[in-house]
Structure 1
Amino acid sequence: LQRESEEQRRSLEGQLEDARQEAASKISALQSDLEAQQEAEAAAQRSLEESSARATKLEEELAALRERAAAEASSAGAQSTALQEEMQKKQAQADEALAEARADSERLQRESEEQRRSLEGQLEDARQE
Protein backbone atom coordinates (compact mmCIF):
# COMPACT_ATOMS: atom_id res chain seq x y z
CA LEU A 1 0.00 0.00 0.00
CA GLN A 2 2.84 2.34 0.87
CA ARG A 3 4.59 1.51 -2.42
CA GLU A 4 1.41 2.24 -4.39
CA SER A 5 0.98 5.48 -2.51
CA GLU A 6 4.60 6.39 -3.27
CA GLU A 7 4.15 5.58 -6.97
CA GLN A 8 0.97 7.60 -7.11
CA ARG A 9 2.72 10.53 -5.41
CA ARG A 10 5.59 10.39 -7.95
CA SER A 11 3.09 10.21 -10.80
CA LEU A 12 1.21 13.24 -9.47
CA GLU A 13 4.46 15.15 -8.98
CA GLY A 14 5.40 14.38 -12.58
CA GLN A 15 2.01 15.56 -13.81
CA LEU A 16 2.34 18.71 -11.72
CA GLU A 17 5.79 19.42 -13.17
CA ASP A 18 4.47 18.86 -16.71
CA ALA A 19 1.57 21.24 -16.03
CA ARG A 20 3.97 23.85 -14.64
CA GLN A 21 6.21 23.59 -17.69
CA GLU A 22 3.24 23.84 -20.03
CA ALA A 23 1.93 26.91 -18.17
CA ALA A 24 5.38 28.52 -18.25
CA SER A 25 5.59 27.84 -21.97
CA LYS A 26 2.14 29.37 -22.56
CA ILE A 27 3.03 32.41 -20.48
CA SER A 28 6.25 32.89 -22.41
CA ALA A 29 4.44 32.61 -25.75
CA LEU A 30 1.74 35.04 -24.64
CA GLN A 31 4.34 37.50 -23.40
CA SER A 32 6.05 37.31 -26.79
CA ASP A 33 2.71 37.88 -28.50
CA LEU A 34 2.02 40.84 -26.22
CA GLU A 35 5.44 42.34 -27.02
CA ALA A 36 4.78 41.89 -30.74
CA GLN A 37 1.40 43.60 -30.30
CA GLN A 38 3.03 46.49 -28.49
CA GLU A 39 5.52 46.83 -31.33
CA ALA A 40 2.62 46.83 -33.80
CA GLU A 41 0.93 49.57 -31.77
CA ALA A 42 4.13 51.62 -31.90
CA ALA A 43 4.33 51.12 -35.68
CA ALA A 44 0.70 52.21 -36.02
CA GLN A 45 1.46 55.31 -33.96
CA ARG A 46 4.45 56.12 -36.18
CA SER A 47 2.26 55.66 -39.25
CA LEU A 48 -0.32 58.04 -37.81
CA GLU A 49 2.37 60.60 -37.05
CA GLU A 50 3.74 60.33 -40.58
CA SER A 51 0.25 60.72 -42.05
CA SER A 52 -0.44 63.70 -39.84
CA ALA A 53 2.86 65.27 -40.88
CA ARG A 54 1.94 64.71 -44.53
CA ALA A 55 -1.47 66.32 -43.95
CA THR A 56 0.18 69.25 -42.17
CA LYS A 57 2.59 69.72 -45.07
CA LEU A 58 -0.30 69.71 -47.53
CA GLU A 59 -2.14 72.27 -45.40
CA GLU A 60 0.98 74.46 -45.38
CA GLU A 61 1.23 74.18 -49.15
CA LEU A 62 -2.43 75.11 -49.34
CA ALA A 63 -1.86 78.18 -47.19
CA ALA A 64 1.03 79.21 -49.44
CA LEU A 65 -1.16 78.74 -52.50
CA ARG A 66 -3.88 80.85 -50.91
CA GLU A 67 -1.41 83.64 -50.29
CA ARG A 68 -0.10 83.37 -53.82
CA ALA A 69 -3.62 83.33 -55.23
CA ALA A 70 -4.58 86.42 -53.25
CA ALA A 71 -1.48 88.30 -54.43
CA GLU A 72 -1.99 87.41 -58.06
CA ALA A 73 -5.79 87.70 -58.14
CA SER A 74 -5.73 91.44 -58.61
CA SER A 75 -3.52 91.30 -61.70
CA ALA A 76 -4.59 88.16 -63.51
CA GLY A 77 -8.09 86.69 -63.43
CA ALA A 78 -7.10 83.61 -65.40
CA GLN A 79 -4.13 82.88 -63.17
CA SER A 80 -6.32 83.36 -60.15
CA THR A 81 -8.79 80.81 -61.45
CA ALA A 82 -6.03 78.26 -62.03
CA LEU A 83 -4.61 78.88 -58.57
CA GLN A 84 -8.05 78.55 -57.03
CA GLU A 85 -8.46 75.19 -58.74
CA GLU A 86 -5.03 74.08 -57.55
CA MET A 87 -5.86 75.31 -54.09
CA GLN A 88 -9.10 73.33 -54.05
CA LYS A 89 -7.24 70.27 -55.28
CA LYS A 90 -4.64 70.64 -52.52
CA GLN A 91 -7.42 71.15 -49.97
CA ALA A 92 -9.12 67.98 -51.18
CA GLN A 93 -5.81 66.11 -50.98
CA ALA A 94 -5.17 67.43 -47.48
CA ASP A 95 -8.69 66.51 -46.39
CA GLU A 96 -8.35 63.05 -47.91
CA ALA A 97 -4.93 62.44 -46.33
CA LEU A 98 -6.20 63.57 -42.95
CA ALA A 99 -9.36 61.45 -43.22
CA GLU A 100 -7.28 58.42 -44.20
CA ALA A 101 -4.88 59.02 -41.35
CA ARG A 102 -7.73 59.31 -38.88
CA ALA A 103 -9.49 56.22 -40.24
CA ASP A 104 -6.25 54.22 -40.20
CA SER A 105 -5.48 55.40 -36.71
CA GLU A 106 -8.91 54.51 -35.40
CA ARG A 107 -8.86 51.11 -37.10
CA LEU A 108 -5.35 50.31 -35.90
CA GLN A 109 -6.19 51.49 -32.42
CA ARG A 110 -9.32 49.32 -32.29
CA GLU A 111 -7.48 46.28 -33.62
CA SER A 112 -4.56 46.89 -31.31
CA GLU A 113 -6.77 47.28 -28.26
CA GLU A 114 -8.78 44.18 -29.12
CA GLN A 115 -5.67 42.11 -29.63
CA ARG A 116 -4.02 43.49 -26.50
CA ARG A 117 -7.12 42.70 -24.40
CA SER A 118 -7.22 39.21 -25.86
CA LEU A 119 -3.54 38.61 -25.17
CA GLU A 120 -3.81 39.99 -21.67
CA GLY A 121 -6.79 37.70 -21.02
CA GLN A 122 -4.88 34.72 -22.35
CA LEU A 123 -1.87 35.66 -20.27
CA GLU A 124 -4.02 35.98 -17.17
CA ASP A 125 -5.68 32.63 -17.91
CA ALA A 126 -2.28 31.01 -18.40
CA ARG A 127 -1.01 32.46 -15.15
CA GLN A 128 -4.04 31.13 -13.31
CA GLU A 129 -3.46 27.66 -14.72
Structure 2
Amino acid sequence: MANEYLLGKPETSVGQPFGEGVDVYKVKGKMFATLSLGKMGKGDGDKQDWWMNLKCDPEEAVMLRDIFPAVIPGYHMNKALWNTVILDGSIPPSEIERMIDNSFNLVVSKMTKKDQQSILVHL
Protein backbone atom coordinates (compact mmCIF):
# COMPACT_ATOMS: atom_id res chain seq x y z
CA MET A 1 0.00 0.00 0.00
CA ALA A 2 2.69 2.54 0.98
CA ASN A 3 4.76 1.96 -2.18
CA GLU A 4 1.79 2.58 -4.46
CA TYR A 5 0.74 5.70 -2.55
CA LEU A 6 4.29 7.10 -2.62
CA LEU A 7 4.65 6.46 -6.35
CA GLY A 8 1.26 8.07 -6.97
CA LYS A 9 2.67 11.46 -6.00
CA PRO A 10 3.38 13.76 -8.99
CA GLU A 11 6.94 13.87 -10.36
CA THR A 12 8.02 11.04 -8.01
CA SER A 13 10.83 8.65 -8.77
CA VAL A 14 12.27 5.77 -6.75
CA GLY A 15 15.83 4.49 -6.57
CA GLN A 16 18.24 2.73 -4.22
CA PRO A 17 21.17 5.14 -3.67
CA PHE A 18 21.77 3.75 -0.14
CA GLY A 19 22.03 0.19 -1.43
CA GLU A 20 19.76 -2.72 -2.19
CA GLY A 21 16.74 -3.07 0.07
CA VAL A 22 16.19 0.64 0.76
CA ASP A 23 13.89 2.40 -1.69
CA VAL A 24 14.30 6.19 -1.75
CA TYR A 25 11.41 8.27 -3.06
CA LYS A 26 12.20 11.67 -4.53
CA VAL A 27 10.15 14.48 -6.00
CA LYS A 28 12.18 16.33 -8.64
CA GLY A 29 15.35 14.86 -7.15
CA LYS A 30 14.57 15.75 -3.51
CA MET A 31 14.04 12.92 -1.02
CA PHE A 32 10.71 12.81 0.81
CA ALA A 33 10.55 9.15 1.91
CA THR A 34 12.41 5.89 2.27
CA LEU A 35 10.89 2.43 2.51
CA SER A 36 12.66 -0.75 3.59
CA LEU A 37 11.92 -4.11 5.13
CA GLY A 38 13.12 -3.63 8.71
CA LYS A 39 15.93 -1.29 9.72
CA MET A 40 17.55 -0.07 6.50
CA GLY A 41 16.50 -3.26 4.72
CA LYS A 42 18.00 -5.56 7.37
CA GLY A 43 14.81 -6.84 9.08
CA ASP A 44 14.81 -8.28 12.60
CA GLY A 45 14.62 -12.05 12.55
CA ASP A 46 11.15 -13.49 11.95
CA LYS A 47 9.31 -10.19 12.37
CA GLN A 48 9.60 -8.32 9.09
CA ASP A 49 7.69 -5.01 9.24
CA TRP A 50 8.24 -2.32 6.63
CA TRP A 51 9.93 0.85 7.91
CA MET A 52 9.24 4.18 6.25
CA ASN A 53 11.15 7.40 6.89
CA LEU A 54 9.15 10.59 6.31
CA LYS A 55 10.09 14.26 6.59
CA CYS A 56 8.09 16.06 9.24
CA ASP A 57 7.61 19.44 10.89
CA PRO A 58 9.68 19.23 14.13
CA GLU A 59 6.73 19.92 16.46
CA GLU A 60 4.45 17.48 14.66
CA ALA A 61 7.24 14.87 14.65
CA VAL A 62 7.30 14.84 18.45
CA MET A 63 3.48 14.78 18.71
CA LEU A 64 3.25 11.78 16.35
CA ARG A 65 5.86 9.91 18.41
CA ASP A 66 3.79 10.57 21.54
CA ILE A 67 0.55 9.35 19.90
CA PHE A 68 1.80 6.28 18.01
CA PRO A 69 4.27 3.77 19.49
CA ALA A 70 5.11 2.74 15.88
CA VAL A 71 6.44 6.25 15.11
CA ILE A 72 10.02 6.76 16.28
CA PRO A 73 12.74 9.34 15.62
CA GLY A 74 14.07 8.99 12.07
CA TYR A 75 16.34 5.95 11.80
CA HIS A 76 19.66 7.11 10.26
CA MET A 77 18.13 10.56 9.64
CA ASN A 78 18.01 14.00 11.27
CA LYS A 79 15.80 13.11 14.22
CA ALA A 80 14.30 16.62 14.48
CA LEU A 81 13.07 16.59 10.87
CA TRP A 82 12.38 12.92 10.13
CA ASN A 83 10.24 10.18 11.66
CA THR A 84 10.40 6.45 11.06
CA VAL A 85 6.96 4.90 10.75
CA ILE A 86 6.92 1.16 11.43
CA LEU A 87 4.16 -0.30 9.26
CA ASP A 88 2.99 -2.94 11.72
CA GLY A 89 -0.75 -2.35 11.22
CA SER A 90 -1.16 -0.22 14.35
CA ILE A 91 -1.56 3.11 12.50
CA PRO A 92 -4.71 3.69 10.40
CA PRO A 93 -3.96 3.79 6.65
CA SER A 94 -5.54 7.25 6.37
CA GLU A 95 -3.05 8.57 8.95
CA ILE A 96 -0.13 7.02 7.09
CA GLU A 97 -1.34 8.69 3.88
CA ARG A 98 -1.62 12.02 5.74
CA MET A 99 1.98 11.67 6.98
CA ILE A 100 3.16 10.86 3.42
CA ASP A 101 1.25 13.89 2.08
CA ASN A 102 2.85 16.13 4.71
CA SER A 103 6.35 14.87 3.90
CA PHE A 104 5.81 15.38 0.18
CA ASN A 105 4.35 18.86 0.69
CA LEU A 106 7.20 19.92 3.03
CA VAL A 107 9.77 19.01 0.39
CA VAL A 108 7.81 20.68 -2.42
CA SER A 109 7.40 23.86 -0.32
CA LYS A 110 11.21 24.32 -0.31
CA MET A 111 11.46 24.20 -4.13
CA THR A 112 11.49 27.08 -6.56
CA LYS A 113 8.11 28.54 -7.50
CA LYS A 114 8.51 27.13 -11.01
CA ASP A 115 9.11 23.59 -9.72
CA GLN A 116 6.26 23.94 -7.20
CA GLN A 117 3.84 24.97 -9.94
CA SER A 118 4.83 22.05 -12.20
CA ILE A 119 3.99 19.67 -9.33
CA LEU A 120 0.92 21.39 -7.87
CA VAL A 121 -0.83 21.41 -11.24
CA HIS A 122 -1.13 17.60 -10.82
CA LEU A 123 -2.72 17.75 -7.35
The TM-score normalised by the length of structure 2 is 0.25
Greater fraction helix:
1
- TM-score normalised by structure 1 residue count: 0.24
- Structure with larger Rg: 1
Greater RCO, 1 or 2 (C-alpha within 8 Å, sep 6+): 1
